[in-house]
Amino acid sequence: MIVTIDGPAGSGKSTAARGLAKRLGFEFLDTGAMYRCVACGVLQKNVDPADEQAVTHVSQQIKITFSGDRVLLDGEDVSAAIRTPDVTDAASVVAQYPAVRQELVRLQQRAAEGVDIVSEGRDQGTVVFPDAFCKVFLIADPEERARRRHEELVAQGKQITLEAILQQINERDQRDEQRTVAPLKPADDAVEINTSRLTIDEVIDQLEQLVRSRI
Ligand code: C5P
């Protein structure tokens, strides 16, 4: 059984998908972390994210592994490194390249073989798992998404203004929505949930109800 959860940055996808997987006893796949790993590898190797051919080469060379809630890049724990603003920005650049997506989609489909899984990203319901039995698209107002991200970063001791985050989120959404390959959009059969005025527990409750009503 495959549940897909897609949506823009800061819509609450990751936390909700992780919480849902836990309640259902399903595996959890954070596909954004995979694009972030490619971006991290690219920056570590001093490759220009704008160089499609070189980035594609990196995506084919690196090894991405999940170990519990840690993310490993060629065996090195990059769980924190992939969340920096530079990597975040570069991730949505490298995610535009068809050959990079092809490589990661293959890994994502392989991760779902023979297991029940909640897979979270931008194209999980549209491209990667078109036959998933339950598809969700989470949205939230841009101001609310920026507020959440700001709260997260401040808690980590980072100094950044709300306005700067709002601008980054808008730029990233625009790149994700406007790219030609697998743009961010809901699948025709996805259930859309606006999380702006919901707590994370309320979101997970709604998701759990939805999935259980279909099992
Ligand atoms: O979800 P997260 O913010 O970690 O994703 C980082 C970036 O990876 C996104 O901005 C998007 O460009 C890309 N991404 C994607 N397809 C996915 C997951 C993430 O293009 N399935």
So what's the pLDDT on residue 85?
Answer: 86
Residues 144 and 99 grouped into a single domain: no
Instruction: Give the residues of the chain that fall short of pLDDT 70.
Output: none
The CATH number given to whatever domain includes residue 91 is: 3.40.50.300
> What SS3 state is found at 5?
strand
The CA distance from 134 to 22, in Å, is 16
Of 115, 148, 176, the residue at which a domain comes to its end is 115
Enumerate the β-bridge partners of residue 73: 64, 76
DSSP letter (8 states) at residue 190: P
9 is in an annotated binding site: yes
- Given a contact cutoff of 8 angstroms between Cβ atoms, the answer to whether 54 and 48 are in contact is yes
98 is in an annotated binding site: no
Residues 21 and 31 grouped into a single domain: no
The CA distance from 144 to 37, in Å, is 27
pLDDT in tens, 166-212: 999 999 999 999 999 999 999 999 999 999 999 999 999 999 999 99
92 Cα nearest atom in ligand 1 = 12
Residues 179 and 87 grouped into a single domain: no
User: What ipTM was estimated for this complex?
Assistant: 0.99
Phi, psi of 122 (to 5 degrees): -120, -25
Residues 108 and 141 grouped into a single domain: no
The CA distance from 129 to 127, in Å, is 6
> What SS3 state is found at 205?
helix
Domain that holds residue 1: 1-26+118-215
Residues 107 and 176 grouped into a single domain: no
Q: How far is the CA of 147 from the centre of ligand 1 (A)?
A: 19
Of 51, 84, 115, the residue at which a domain comes to its end is 115
Q: Ligand 1 test: best mutation among 35, 93, 181, most atoms within 8 Å of CB?
A: 35
Structure tokens at 22: 């836990």
Residues 108 and 94 grouped into a single domain: yes
Q: How far is the CA of 61 from the centre of ligand 1 (A)?
A: 20
- Given a contact cutoff of 8 angstroms between Cβ atoms, the answer to whether 101 and 56 are in contact is no
So what's the pLDDT on residue 153?
Answer: 87
pLDDT in tens, 40-52: 999 999 999 999 9
- Given a contact cutoff of 8 angstroms between Cβ atoms, the answer to whether 131 and 189 are in contact is no
Q: How many domains does the chain have?
A: 2
Q: How far is the CA of 31 from the centre of ligand 1 (A)?
A: 7
Residue nearest to atom 9 of ligand 1 (CA): 92
